Protein backbone atom coordinates (compact mmCIF):
# COMPACT_ATOMS: atom_id res chain seq x y z
CA UNK A 1 0.00 0.00 0.00
CA UNK A 2 1.18 3.51 -0.86
CA UNK A 3 -0.23 6.82 0.36
CA UNK A 4 0.12 9.90 -1.84
CA UNK A 5 -0.97 13.35 -0.69
CA UNK A 6 -1.83 16.46 -2.65
CA UNK A 7 -1.58 19.98 -1.22
CA UNK A 8 -5.21 20.52 -0.19
CA UNK A 9 -4.96 19.14 3.36
CA UNK A 10 -1.46 18.00 4.21
CA UNK A 11 -2.06 17.82 8.01
CA UNK A 12 -4.94 15.35 7.52
CA UNK A 13 -2.83 13.22 5.16
CA UNK A 14 -0.01 13.15 7.72
CA UNK A 15 -2.47 12.16 10.47
CA UNK A 16 -3.82 9.32 8.31
CA UNK A 17 -0.25 8.26 7.58
CA UNK A 18 0.55 8.21 11.31
CA UNK A 19 -2.59 6.16 12.06
CA UNK A 20 -1.72 3.56 9.43
CA UNK A 21 2.01 3.67 10.23
CA UNK A 22 2.65 3.99 6.49
CA UNK A 23 4.84 6.91 5.36
CA UNK A 24 3.57 9.26 2.67
CA UNK A 25 5.14 8.48 -0.69
CA UNK A 26 7.40 11.14 -2.17
CA UNK A 27 5.35 13.26 -4.54
CA UNK A 28 6.39 16.61 -5.98
CA UNK A 29 3.57 18.93 -6.96
CA UNK A 30 4.75 22.25 -8.37
CA UNK A 31 3.51 25.02 -10.61
CA UNK A 32 5.06 26.59 -13.66
CA UNK A 33 5.13 30.38 -14.10
CA UNK A 34 1.72 30.29 -15.83
CA UNK A 35 0.33 28.21 -12.88
CA UNK A 36 0.16 24.94 -14.82
CA UNK A 37 0.47 22.03 -12.38
CA UNK A 38 3.29 19.53 -12.70
CA UNK A 39 3.47 16.27 -10.72
CA UNK A 40 6.29 13.78 -10.29
CA UNK A 41 5.97 10.63 -8.16
CA UNK A 42 9.32 10.21 -6.39
CA UNK A 43 9.30 6.44 -5.85
CA UNK A 44 8.32 3.21 -7.55
CA UNK A 45 4.58 2.46 -7.50
CA UNK A 46 4.45 -0.33 -10.09
CA UNK A 47 1.93 -2.96 -8.97
CA UNK A 48 1.07 -1.04 -5.79
CA UNK A 49 -2.32 -0.31 -4.21
CA UNK A 50 -2.18 3.51 -4.10
CA UNK A 51 -4.45 5.87 -2.14
CA UNK A 52 -4.45 9.54 -3.19
CA UNK A 53 -5.57 11.79 -0.33
CA UNK A 54 -6.92 15.08 -1.64
CA UNK A 55 -9.96 17.18 -0.67
CA UNK A 56 -11.31 19.30 -3.51
CA UNK A 57 -11.83 22.32 -1.25
CA UNK A 58 -10.95 25.98 -1.90
CA UNK A 59 -9.35 26.71 -4.33
CA UNK A 60 -11.53 23.92 -5.70
CA UNK A 61 -10.37 23.90 -9.29
CA UNK A 62 -6.66 23.88 -8.38
CA UNK A 63 -7.09 21.00 -5.95
CA UNK A 64 -9.28 19.07 -8.39
CA UNK A 65 -6.65 19.42 -11.13
CA UNK A 66 -3.95 18.27 -8.68
CA UNK A 67 -6.01 15.15 -7.94
CA UNK A 68 -6.57 14.41 -11.63
CA UNK A 69 -2.91 14.93 -12.57
CA UNK A 70 -1.61 12.84 -9.65
CA UNK A 71 -4.03 10.07 -10.66
CA UNK A 72 -2.84 10.23 -14.28
CA UNK A 73 0.80 10.12 -13.17
CA UNK A 74 0.12 7.03 -11.05
CA UNK A 75 -1.78 5.30 -13.87
CA UNK A 76 1.11 5.94 -16.26
CA UNK A 77 3.48 4.58 -13.59
CA UNK A 78 1.66 1.21 -13.63
CA UNK A 79 0.02 1.39 -10.20
CA UNK A 80 -2.13 -1.73 -9.73
CA UNK A 81 -5.10 0.11 -8.23
CA UNK A 82 -5.70 3.82 -7.58
CA UNK A 83 -8.19 4.93 -4.93
CA UNK A 84 -9.10 8.62 -4.79
CA UNK A 85 -9.61 9.48 -1.11
CA UNK A 86 -11.63 12.71 -1.25
CA UNK A 87 -12.74 13.70 2.29
CA UNK A 88 -14.54 16.75 0.90
CA UNK A 89 -16.05 16.33 -2.57
CA UNK A 90 -16.28 19.75 -4.22
CA UNK A 91 -19.15 20.52 -6.62
CA UNK A 92 -21.36 18.10 -4.63
CA UNK A 93 -24.05 20.77 -4.27
CA UNK A 94 -24.47 20.83 -8.05
CA UNK A 95 -26.05 17.38 -8.16
CA UNK A 96 -29.14 18.21 -10.26
CA UNK A 97 -30.51 20.80 -12.70
CA UNK A 98 -32.13 23.56 -10.62
CA UNK A 99 -33.29 25.31 -13.79
CA UNK A 100 -33.08 25.14 -17.57
CA UNK A 101 -29.66 25.21 -19.28
CA UNK A 102 -27.70 24.51 -16.10
CA UNK A 103 -25.02 21.84 -15.57
CA UNK A 104 -24.86 18.83 -13.28
CA UNK A 105 -21.28 19.56 -12.28
CA UNK A 106 -21.00 16.74 -9.73
CA UNK A 107 -21.50 14.23 -12.57
CA UNK A 108 -18.87 16.00 -14.68
CA UNK A 109 -16.35 15.79 -11.82
CA UNK A 110 -17.16 12.10 -11.35
CA UNK A 111 -16.44 11.52 -15.05
CA UNK A 112 -13.15 13.43 -14.83
CA UNK A 113 -11.94 11.37 -11.86
CA UNK A 114 -12.89 8.11 -13.56
CA UNK A 115 -11.30 9.04 -16.88
CA UNK A 116 -8.13 10.20 -15.15
CA UNK A 117 -7.64 6.62 -13.97
CA UNK A 118 -9.18 6.26 -10.51
CA UNK A 119 -10.32 2.67 -9.84
CA UNK A 120 -12.44 3.52 -6.80
CA UNK A 121 -13.43 6.52 -4.67
CA UNK A 122 -13.51 6.95 -0.92
CA UNK A 123 -15.34 10.05 0.31
CA UNK A 124 -17.06 11.41 3.41
CA UNK A 125 -20.64 12.63 3.98
CA UNK A 126 -21.60 13.41 0.39
CA UNK A 127 -24.03 16.32 0.20
CA UNK A 128 -26.37 14.08 -1.79
CA UNK A 129 -26.15 10.30 -1.52
CA UNK A 130 -27.17 9.81 -5.14
CA UNK A 131 -23.79 11.20 -6.26
CA UNK A 132 -22.47 7.67 -5.65
CA UNK A 133 -24.49 6.71 -8.71
CA UNK A 134 -22.63 9.29 -10.82
CA UNK A 135 -19.54 7.06 -10.68
CA UNK A 136 -19.11 3.95 -12.80
CA UNK A 137 -16.48 2.69 -10.32
CA UNK A 138 -16.91 1.46 -6.72
CA UNK A 139 -17.59 4.38 -4.37
CA UNK A 140 -17.59 4.29 -0.56
CA UNK A 141 -19.37 7.16 1.19
CA UNK A 142 -18.18 7.25 4.81
CA UNK A 143 -20.11 8.92 7.62
CA UNK A 144 -18.68 11.22 10.28
CA UNK A 145 -21.58 10.38 12.63
CA UNK A 146 -19.66 7.85 14.79
CA UNK A 147 -16.92 10.43 15.43
CA UNK A 148 -19.52 13.07 16.30
CA UNK A 149 -21.50 10.71 18.54
CA UNK A 150 -18.35 9.88 20.50
CA UNK A 151 -17.61 13.59 20.97
CA UNK A 152 -21.21 14.38 21.98
CA UNK A 153 -21.28 11.61 24.60
CA UNK A 154 -17.95 12.77 26.05
CA UNK A 155 -18.89 16.45 26.32
CA UNK A 156 -22.66 16.77 26.68
CA UNK A 157 -25.40 15.45 28.95
CA UNK A 158 -27.38 13.50 26.37
CA UNK A 159 -30.23 12.84 28.80
CA UNK A 160 -31.59 16.34 28.13
CA UNK A 161 -30.71 16.99 24.49
CA UNK A 162 -32.59 17.28 21.23
CA UNK A 163 -31.13 16.76 17.77
CA UNK A 164 -32.27 19.41 15.31
CA UNK A 165 -32.22 19.40 11.52
CA UNK A 166 -31.61 22.95 10.21
CA UNK A 167 -33.90 22.26 7.23
CA UNK A 168 -36.33 19.66 5.96
CA UNK A 169 -33.73 18.21 3.56
CA UNK A 170 -31.44 17.21 6.44
CA UNK A 171 -34.05 15.22 8.40
CA UNK A 172 -32.61 11.80 7.46
CA UNK A 173 -29.16 12.81 8.72
CA UNK A 174 -30.57 14.30 11.94
CA UNK A 175 -32.82 11.29 12.57
CA UNK A 176 -29.84 8.93 12.26
CA UNK A 177 -27.87 10.94 14.84
CA UNK A 178 -30.88 11.18 17.17
CA UNK A 179 -31.29 7.41 17.00
CA UNK A 180 -27.63 6.86 17.89
CA UNK A 181 -27.83 8.97 21.06
CA UNK A 182 -31.50 8.15 21.84
CA UNK A 183 -32.64 11.79 21.71
CA UNK A 184 -35.82 13.43 20.35
CA UNK A 185 -35.81 15.06 16.93
CA UNK A 186 -36.81 18.60 15.98
CA UNK A 187 -36.86 20.35 12.59
CA UNK A 188 -36.31 23.96 11.62
CA UNK A 189 -38.80 24.93 8.92
CA UNK A 190 -37.28 27.80 6.94
CA UNK A 191 -37.90 29.61 3.71
CA UNK A 192 -34.92 30.77 1.63
CA UNK A 193 -35.81 34.07 -0.03
CA UNK A 194 -32.63 34.35 -2.12
CA UNK A 195 -29.31 32.41 -2.50
CA UNK A 196 -27.03 32.77 0.51
CA UNK A 197 -29.77 33.99 2.84
CA UNK A 198 -32.21 32.04 4.99
CA UNK A 199 -35.19 32.97 7.10
CA UNK A 200 -36.32 30.76 9.97
CA UNK A 201 -40.06 30.32 10.02
CA UNK A 202 -40.99 27.70 12.61
CA UNK A 203 -39.66 24.98 14.92
CA UNK A 204 -41.29 21.57 14.58
CA UNK A 205 -40.83 19.65 17.84
CA UNK A 206 -40.37 20.44 21.54
CA UNK A 207 -37.01 22.01 22.43
CA UNK A 208 -38.00 23.87 25.60
CA UNK A 209 -35.38 23.51 28.34
CA UNK A 210 -33.18 21.24 26.22
CA UNK A 211 -29.65 21.47 24.89
CA UNK A 212 -30.05 21.44 21.11
CA UNK A 213 -27.60 19.90 18.65
CA UNK A 214 -27.88 21.19 15.10
CA UNK A 215 -26.45 18.70 12.60
CA UNK A 216 -25.49 19.41 8.97
CA UNK A 217 -23.03 18.16 6.36
CA UNK A 218 -21.72 21.51 5.05
CA UNK A 219 -21.48 24.92 6.70
CA UNK A 220 -20.75 27.62 4.14
CA UNK A 221 -21.95 31.15 4.95
CA UNK A 222 -23.18 30.08 8.40
CA UNK A 223 -26.42 32.05 8.07
CA UNK A 224 -28.70 29.02 8.32
CA UNK A 225 -27.17 27.72 11.57
CA UNK A 226 -26.98 31.17 13.18
CA UNK A 227 -30.63 31.89 12.40
CA UNK A 228 -31.62 28.40 13.57
CA UNK A 229 -29.79 28.94 16.87
CA UNK A 230 -31.69 32.19 17.48
CA UNK A 231 -35.02 30.53 16.68
CA UNK A 232 -34.29 27.59 19.00
CA UNK A 233 -33.32 29.86 21.89
CA UNK A 234 -36.48 31.91 21.29
CA UNK A 235 -38.47 28.67 21.62
CA UNK A 236 -36.94 27.95 25.02
CA UNK A 237 -33.82 25.90 24.24
CA UNK A 238 -31.22 26.23 27.01
CA UNK A 239 -28.17 26.22 24.67
CA UNK A 240 -27.40 25.38 21.06
CA UNK A 241 -24.48 23.44 19.64
CA UNK A 242 -23.81 22.65 15.98
CA UNK A 243 -21.95 19.72 14.42
CA UNK A 244 -20.96 19.93 10.74
CA UNK A 245 -18.72 17.65 8.69
CA UNK A 246 -17.34 20.06 6.11
CA UNK A 247 -16.27 23.55 7.24
CA UNK A 248 -16.36 25.50 3.97
CA UNK A 249 -16.86 28.76 5.94
CA UNK A 250 -16.60 31.19 3.05
CA UNK A 251 -16.63 34.99 3.22
CA UNK A 252 -17.38 36.34 6.69
CA UNK A 253 -18.73 33.04 8.02
CA UNK A 254 -16.17 32.68 10.83
CA UNK A 255 -16.89 36.13 12.29
CA UNK A 256 -20.62 35.47 11.87
CA UNK A 257 -20.32 32.24 13.88
CA UNK A 258 -18.09 33.87 16.50
CA UNK A 259 -20.67 36.61 17.15
CA UNK A 260 -23.68 34.28 16.99
CA UNK A 261 -25.65 32.64 19.78
CA UNK A 262 -24.16 29.24 19.01
CA UNK A 263 -22.37 28.00 22.12
CA UNK A 264 -20.05 25.87 20.00
CA UNK A 265 -19.61 24.80 16.39
CA UNK A 266 -17.79 21.48 16.00
CA UNK A 267 -16.37 20.64 12.56
CA UNK A 268 -14.10 17.93 11.19
CA UNK A 269 -10.75 18.44 9.49
CA UNK A 270 -12.01 17.17 6.10
CA UNK A 271 -11.12 20.71 4.96
CA UNK A 272 -7.90 22.16 6.36
CA UNK A 273 -8.84 24.75 9.04
CA UNK A 274 -7.78 28.32 8.33
CA UNK A 275 -6.07 30.46 10.97
CA UNK A 276 -9.37 32.28 11.54
CA UNK A 277 -11.07 28.96 12.34
CA UNK A 278 -8.24 27.92 14.68
CA UNK A 279 -8.50 31.10 16.80
CA UNK A 280 -12.31 31.43 16.78
CA UNK A 281 -13.56 31.14 20.38
CA UNK A 282 -16.56 28.91 19.66
CA UNK A 283 -15.30 26.73 16.78
CA UNK A 284 -13.63 23.40 17.55
CA UNK A 285 -12.16 20.87 15.14
CA UNK A 286 -12.24 17.09 15.59
CA UNK A 287 -10.17 14.72 13.47
CA UNK A 288 -11.56 12.18 11.03
CA UNK A 289 -8.07 10.76 10.33
CA UNK A 290 -8.67 7.51 12.31
CA UNK A 291 -11.99 6.95 10.49
CA UNK A 292 -10.51 7.46 7.03
CA UNK A 293 -7.33 5.58 7.97
CA UNK A 294 -9.34 2.55 9.07
CA UNK A 295 -11.43 2.69 5.88
CA UNK A 296 -8.21 2.75 3.83
CA UNK A 297 -6.83 -0.21 5.78
CA UNK A 298 -10.01 -2.22 5.20
CA UNK A 299 -10.13 -1.31 1.52
CA UNK A 300 -6.53 -2.42 1.07
CA UNK A 301 -7.19 -5.72 2.87
CA UNK A 302 -10.48 -6.29 0.99
CA UNK A 303 -12.49 -6.39 4.23
CA UNK A 304 -15.80 -4.72 5.12
CA UNK A 305 -15.96 -0.91 5.28
CA UNK A 306 -19.68 -0.74 6.07
CA UNK A 307 -19.14 -2.55 9.38
CA UNK A 308 -17.39 0.62 10.61
CA UNK A 309 -20.86 2.14 11.00
CA UNK A 310 -22.83 -0.77 12.46
* Separation of CA 127 from chain center: 8
Residue 192 among known ligand-binding residues: yes
Residue 130 among known ligand-binding residues: no
Closest CA to 277 of 247, 310, 242: 247
Residue 303 among known ligand-binding residues: no
Burial class (CB in 10 A: 0-12, 13-18, 19+), 51: buried
Q: E-strand spans in 8-153?
A: 27-31, 37-41, 49-53, 81-86, 120-124, 139-142
Residue 46 among known ligand-binding residues: no
Q: Residue 305: CB partners within 8 Å, gap ≥ 6?
A: 140, 142, 295, 298, 299
Residue 36 among known ligand-binding residues: yes
Residue 80 among known ligand-binding residues: no
Residue 35 among known ligand-binding residues: yes
Strand partners, 284: 266
Q: Which long-range contacts (CB under 8 A, 24 or more apart) does 183-187 make?
A: 183/158, 183/213, 184/210, 186/162, 186/212, 186/232
State the Cα–Cα distance between residues 14 and 285, nearest whole angstrom: 16
The 8-class DSSP code of residue 218 comes to E
Residue 151 among known ligand-binding residues: no
Residue 113 among known ligand-binding residues: no
Residue 222 among known ligand-binding residues: yes
Residue 260 among known ligand-binding residues: no
Residue 216 among known ligand-binding residues: yes
Residue 223 among known ligand-binding residues: yes
**Active site members:** 190
Closest CA to 265 of 277, 275, 274, 252: 277
Residues in binding site: 34-36, 93-94, 127, 167, 192, 216, 220-224
Residues in binding site for ATP: 34-36, 93-94
Residues in binding site for D-ribose 5-phosphate: 192, 216, 220-224
Residues in binding site for Mg(2+): 127, 167
Amino acid sequence: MKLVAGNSNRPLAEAISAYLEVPLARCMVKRFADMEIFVEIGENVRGEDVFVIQSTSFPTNDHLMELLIITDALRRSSARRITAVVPYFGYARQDRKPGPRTPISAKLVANLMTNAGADRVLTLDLHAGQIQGFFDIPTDNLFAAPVMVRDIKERLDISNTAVVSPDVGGVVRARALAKRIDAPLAIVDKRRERPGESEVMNIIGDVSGRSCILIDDIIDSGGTLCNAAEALLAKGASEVYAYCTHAVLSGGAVSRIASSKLKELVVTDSIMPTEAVKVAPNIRTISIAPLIGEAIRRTASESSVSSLFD
